[in-house]
Structure 1
Amino acid sequence: MFRGIKWKKILKLSAYGGAGVGLISSLHANNYDVTSVGIVRFANAAKAVLDISVYYKKNLYKTEVKLMDQESEEYLKLKSEVHQWGAERLLKLCCLNKGVFIKVGQHIGALDYLLPVEYVNTMKVLHSKAPKSSLKDVYTVLRQDLGKEPEEIFKSIDPEPLGTASLAQVHKAVLHDGRTVAVKVQHASVRGNSIVDLKTMEFLVSIVSRLFPDFRFEWLVKETKRNIPLELDFHNEGKNAEKADRILVHFPWLFVPKIYWNLTTPRVLTMEFVEGGQINDVEYIEKSKINKVQLSSRLGDMYSEMIFKHGFVHADPHPGNILVQACNNDFRIILLDHGLYAELEPKFRRQYARLWLSIMNFDMPAIKQVANDLGVGDLYWLLSCMVTGRTWESISGAGGITKSKPGADEKKVFQQRIPQFLPHINAVLSRVDRQMLLLFKTNDLLRGIEHTLKTHGRRAALLTMAARCVQAEYSEQRREALGTLQRNAIIICEVWTLFKLKIWYLMLSITDILGFA
């Protein structure tokens, strides 16, 4: 008996000792940052979720509030205040835990048309003001990954980062041969924390989903789990950049910075340095006399080419990742941050093209059929709204979305309705083909850019995408044609449809010039 007790004590002490050594090792590896320890990060997240859950339960889900008129000004004001409190508490958690939590917060801040406006607007700050690593931490990663002292490689490194993101930050540097480069350095603790963070999120989201059925975000955790390993490998990002440059080389106005592979590792990415203004920097664009409608049109052309022709889509087009640079009475678009791409299968690309075409023509049987093929069935109307960012009234009205201009308040109306349809939106996000999820994010970010540039009324990007849809679908039909006669008929249909789109665009341009509504 004594011997058994003794061994139990030894095992217990060994376990405690091992845990202590593990804790000290973890702290040492992360410069004694307590928030890098898994159990601390879990506790931070659990506390935030508990706080938000209790606040909702006390203020929005109590019996007397549920009995209120759901459309009354009093109820809507209360709901907005509760959402705002929850969003600010979630932002605090993201800034505290950093890393993957920042990435998820940025994703939330990109879903303008899919989530309550309070969460979207609060999280948008993370696109440009993510917490940064110290220069000491940056030098530690450079030393570990490049195998030399930073001073041996770089003549100088600007101590202040050009930009800070969830997983890394970028510094301007000069090589000893005089070349100016941009060095992207991964935050030191991100890779080690990501596994614990993802498991934490998965666990807590499952709890929240049981407590509040309206907030089912399992799809967001699944996508993050799938994408984070790709984004943490800068070799993958470098390859994506070169592939994007290769497939879009025929656009003379597009520039993708060159990768310096001899100074690139899974945690360090060194690339050509390029200057320019962010694509939502209206002051820079106007000062540089850049045509905003043409800028929107080129964005639409670039993304349509990626979606419909190549199925290789830059899936993180927030303003910090797209620059515009005035040059020789023209301008060029600079595409940065190639860590996350959506790779679309040919079958899905055709379904997506058909969905856009059927929406533009308001072909109800076709809309229902494509929606069913994509997995959302009777929620075809909501899928159409989520893809286009337009209300169902605009889509189903006279002429459909191709002929109707988005009203000044349409985005506001759309966002006001989001809380009402949140369970349905989550149903779409849970059921739809997984390839669609990154396209939702991409579409919303591009629409946000158009709203900032105030070009959404002209729908330059929409009409560019419409033309690409037509070309993609009729190209497939020609390939499947049984003979010359059928092929010629398809060509005539394609030419006629493209001609109608050009006429509609010309009419819009004329009404804008004359100042008509």
Structure 2
Amino acid sequence: MARRALKIISWTSMALASSGFYLYSNKYLDPNDFGAIRIGRAVATTAVISYDYLTSLRSVPYGSEEYAQLKSKVHRRSAERLRELCCANRGTFIKVGQHLGALDYLLPEEYTSTLKVLHSQAPQSSMQEIQQVIREDLGKEIQDLFQSFEDTPLGAASLAQVHKAVLYDGRTVAVKVQHPKVQAQSSKDILLMEVPRIYWELSTRRVLLMEFVEGGQVNDKAYMEKNQIDVNEISQQLGRMYSEMIFVNGFVHCDPHPGNVLVRKCPGTGKVEIILLDHGLYQILTDKFRLDYCHLWQALIKADMKRVKKYSQRLGAGDLYPLFACMLTARSWDSVNKGIGRAPVTANEDVEIRNNAATYLPQISQLLSKVPRQMLLILKTNDLLRGIETALSARASASSFLSMSRCCTRALAAHKKKKTCSLLRRTQISLEESLSLWQINLHELFLRVRGSWLGNWIFALLYWLSPTPH
């Protein structure tokens, strides 16, 4: 029974250890995070959670209905304690809590539903504190700047909170105000794509006025149903967008928790849009890392295990490359061997992943200590995207892997063309690229009609046409 309880405890340990490692290794920790009070809270919370699991489940028969009900209650109590810890320590702890709240495919529901409130309902600064920041930075009182200013924030996150306001010229704006105790995190913003318009004349290093953009959170299925937005289309667009960032551009928005990703129908055209918020956490990928990662994903999608091993090891995984492949894809080792793009995720596979995640905690920690720092934020981003797919019930689709495969193909072809001045060779590369993209399109067609005689014929044709990797 003690072993069962310890295994359950490892859910919390695994999530906190891995998420904390992402942040620590990339130096995003608040310098005050290691203060005695903050560490004391964290240690005390971990001890209480561990004691609760060990004592509450000790005398109940494992596998019984009573055990399941009691375990759910312990999960809920533990999640609430973690949430209270995050709110008390703020800063980085809230970022970790946001990450955990998005891991629907991995953590028990009691944890994710409890911690999800941190996506947009983190601890708030008081109105007096907000007035002080605006007064210090803009040199005026709120009533002198705005016709109206809503006291209740639209959302509060780890570093700032957002208020809706109206300027005296009638423009509706979103006012993002940094919490008073937060240190400046960077000297400049790096923009990947069009973000909401910024009103620089009324912005400072701690107050940001932006165009007000409405939409629903990317994991809000009810909002999408109400506005007739196809969740599968959103999942596919999100996959394409992040594949472009990672494989083609090498410049990645690394905080896609649901509070930072909105969806809406454009008022003018009715076209579905994805809106990224909070551009404070990006990762710039080196060409070497990006291309090795491209090769690895191509190998994973084609079930080329020799190349999976080769490129996993080039990315620092060493002999733990099977675990690395499972962590990247959120698939079982059996599915990785068969080809992740050839079969959808099943309920049984999800259960297997959850069970193994806790079992392999020591190896996961060892692996995280080996891979490059760039990989840590990519893993965090992958976790958040998988969580969104799960919330949208779109995780069973293999379409996201096909989007990744297309981007990998384009990125590798572009790299090869850069390295040659021969027109003949460039033409050859373009033809190979077109053939590969055509094969991916055929594969996508197969997935749509799988089980029919046409699907089986296409599957056989793909195997026959598949070129030898080089």
How does the TM-score come out when normalised to structure 2? 0.80
2:248 maps to what in 1?
Answer: 309
Which residue does 1:96 correspond to in 2?
88
Q: Work out whether 1:49 is the aligned partner of 2:22.
A: no
AA aligned to 2:211 is: E
Cα offsets for 1:420-477 (capped at 9, x unmatched): 0111111121111110111112112122222222222333322111110111112223
Separation in 2, partners of 1:482, 1:378: 38
User: Counterpart in 1 of 2:200?
Assistant: 261
The 1-side partners of 2:116 and 2:33 are apart by: 28
Aligned to 1:321: 260
Which letter does structure 1 place at the counterpart of 2:128? K
Quick check: 1:347 aligned with 2:288?
Answer: yes
Which residue of the partner structure matches residue 9 of structure 2?
none
Q: Structure 1 pair 350/156, CA: closer, same or farther in 2 (3 Å)?
A: same
- Give SS of 2:334's match: helix
For residues 456-505 of structure 1, give each alpha carbon's deviation from its aligned partner in whole angstroms, at most 9, with x where no partner exists: 23333221111101111122233335855544443333222211211121
Task: Quote the residue 2:308 is aligned against.
Answer: 367
Deviations 1:177-220 (A, max 9, x none): 111110111112233xxxxxxxxxxxxxxxxxxxxxxxxxxxxx
Q: Distance in 2 between matches of 1:480 and 1:112?
A: 42
Give deviations 1:209-255, integer Å, cap 9, x for gaps.
Answer: xxxxxxxxxxxxxxxxxxxx63xx4x63xx32xx222xxxxxxxxx6
Q: In the TM superposition, what are the counterparts of 1:279-298 in structure 2 within 5 Å?
A: 279-298=218-237
Q: Secondary structure at the match of 2:176?
A: strand
Q: Distance in 2 between matches of 1:84 and 1:53?
A: 16
Q: 1:440 to 1:111 in 2, by over 3 A?
A: farther
Distance 1:291 1:83 in 2: 33
Count of paired positions: 417
After superposition, what is the alpha-carbon deviation per residue over 1:115-165, rounded to whole angstroms, capped at 9, x for unaligned?
A: 677655543331132121222211111111111111121111111111111
Letter paired with 1:267 = R
2:292–2:311 Cα contact (<8 Å) kept: yes
SS of alignment partner, residue 148 of structure 2:
strand
Residues 404 and 128 (structure 1), Cα distance of their counterparts in 2 relative to 1, 3 Å cut: same
Give a deviation string over 1:255-296, Cα, whole Å, max 9, x none.
621111122222111111111121122122122222322222
Within a 5 Å distance, the mapping from 1:364-443 to structure 2 comes to 364-397=305-338, 400-443=339-382
Equivalent position of 1:470 in the other structure: 409
Change (3 A) 1:114 1:287: closer
For 1:212, the equivalent position in structure 2 comes to: none
Distance (whole Å) between structure 1 residues aligned to residue 154 and residue 73 of structure 2: 35
| Corresponding residue SS for 1:190 | coil
| Deviations 1:323-379, CA, capped at 9 Å, x for gaps | 112133422222211111111111111111111011111111211111111111111
CA RMSD of superposed structures (Å):
3.3
Alignment of 1:480 with 2:419, yes or no, is yes
**Distance in 2, Cα, partners of 1:444 & 1:113:** 9
Contact 2:102 2:388 in 1 (8 A): no
Cα distance in structure 2, aligned partners of 1:47 and 1:336: 31
Q: Distance in 2 between the 1:83 and 1:452 partners?
A: 20
- Gap runs ≥5 in structure 2: 1-31, 456-470
> How far did residue 112 of structure 1 move?
5.2
Task: Tell me if structure 2 keeps the 8 A contact 1:391–1:414.
Answer: yes
User: What is the alpha-carbon distance in structure 2 between the residues aligned to residue 118 and residue 283 of structure 1?
Assistant: 20
Equivalent positions of 1:132-151 (< 5 A) are: 132-151=124-143
1:455 alignment partner, one of 385, 394, 397? 394
The whole-number CA distance in structure 1 between the counterparts of 2:390 and 2:44 is 36
Query: Is structure 2 residue 272 aligned with structure 1 residue 278?
Result: no
Secondary structure of residue in 1 paired with 2:280: coil
- Residues 90, 289 of structure 1: alpha-carbon distance in 2 compared, 3 angstrom cutoff: closer
SS at 1:313's partner residue?
strand
Amino acid at match of 2:322: W
Deviations 1:304-334 (A, max 9, x none): 2211222111111111111112133422222
In structure 2, C-alpha distance between the alignment counterparts of 1:136 and 1:305, rounded to whole Å: 43
What is the one-letter code of the residue matched to 1:46?
Answer: G
**Structure 2 letter corresponding to 1:152:** D
Alpha-carbon separation, structure 2, partners of 1:306 and 1:39: 31
1:299 aligns with 2:238: yes
Alignment of 1:84-233 (within 5 A): 86-111=78-103, 120=112, 122-191=114-183, 230=185, 233=186
Residues 360-411 of structure 1: CA deviation (Å, up to 9, x unaligned): 11111211111111111111111111111111111112xx111111113433
CA distance in 2, matches of 1:466, 1:347: 18
Match of 2:192 in 1: 244
Residue 301 of structure 2 aligns with an amino acid whose one-letter code is M
Tell me, in whole angstroms, the C-alpha distance in 1 between the residues paired with 2:331 and 2:398: 12
Query: Greater Rg, structure 1 or structure 2?
Result: 1
- Counterparts in 2 of 1:511 and 1:476: CA distance versus 1, 3 Å: same
Runs of 5+ unmatched residues, structure 1: 1-37, 192-228, 246-254
Flag the 1:418–1:81 CA change in 2: closer, same or farther, 3 A.
Answer: farther
> Cα gap change, 1:51/1:156 in structure 2, threshold over 3 Å: closer, same or farther?
closer
Change in Cα spacing, 1:186 to 1:298, as seen in structure 2 (3 Å) is same
Question: What is the TM-score of this pair, normalised by structure 1?
Answer: 0.73
| Deviation for aligned residue 1:81 | 7.3
* Letter matched to residue 175 of structure 1: L
